[in-house]
Amino acid sequence: MSRSIRDLPDATERWSEISEQLAGRRPAIFLDFDGTLAPIVEDPDAATLPDLTRAALQRLRDHCPVTVMSGRDAEDVRDRVGIDGLVYAGSHGFDVIWPDGRRRQRGVEFQDSLRAAEVQLHQEIADIPGAALEPKRFAVALHYRRVPGHRVPDTEAAITRVVERFDDLRLTGGKQVFELRPDLDWDKGRALAWLLAELGLDGGDAVPVYLGDDLTDEDAFAALRAHGAGIAVVVQGEDDARTTLGGYRVRDVPAAARLLVRLAETLDPDA
């Protein structure tokens, strides 16, 4: 059952309920990056992790598996977080770097199509002001945050024309972004289920906790539900009317950071 974000209970107010779910079980923490750990900034290249959040993640890491799941390339998100001992799942889970450096990539065989689509898209959007193409390892992102409102339909039409020429790519999207990805049944939700199994945390005593703010995080929330357990927290941002499969909300990125501090205090009471 999906609800509007504004109708969700606030995770901070319901903290005792959340900590009861954690008691005596094995948590695993999964975190989106942009808009969850790091404040959204105009230039995605300027996004950084606040110090309070970094300290909380370092504490959490010593008590349970912590995974950062981002649409960014895996190296990019790893370098921005910069903490050893975490799992970095980049490209919406297509590219996973384990703490020991092992790596699991999916969709490598789609590179030719992605790069060809990128060239075509570059031509298709040439006359659309503000449209910004971002080539990624396992995707091509088209940001329209700076496109004038009346040209957004043209932007969508351009990327739709391109994706129709490639049988092996699909069109997805997030906040102010369209994205071409390999046409594989893989997303943050499937990656989450796979990671839980790899971590040996797919049993009934595990309790995955997922914090995310975007549409792509809904796949992970759906996977938590299918798993029969889990704590899904939506970082609300501005758009509190959209529907979500999340179970709780927090108001903004600083509130998400405080929730992580609380989680760290609960899992690490002696520090």
Catalytically active residues, by annotation:
32
Nearer to Mg ion, 57 or 206 (CB): 57
- Cα distances from 185 to residues 16, 42, 99, 181, 233, in angstroms, run 37, 31, 25, 10, 24
* CA atoms of 122 and 115, how far apart (whole Å): 11
User: Which residue has the CB atom at the shortest distance from Mg ion?
Assistant: 35
- 23-47 burial string, b = 16+ CB within 10 Å, else e? eeebbbbbbbbbbbbbbbeeebeeb
Nearer to Mg ion, 35 or 90 (CB): 35
CB of 31 to Mg ion, least distance (A): 10
Query: Within a 10 A sphere around the Cβ of 164, how many other Cβ atoms?
Result: 10
Applying CB under 5 A, which residues contact Mg ion?
32, 34-35, 213-214
CB of 32 to Mg ion, least distance (A): 4
CB of 177 to Mg ion, least distance (A): 10
Nearer to Mg ion, 201 or 253 (CB): 253
Intra-chain end-to-end CA distance of the chain, in Å: 39
CB of 38 to Mg ion, least distance (A): 9
**DSSP-derived secondary structure letter, 13:** T
**Which amino acid is it at 143?**
H
Nearer to Mg ion, 34 or 219 (CB): 34
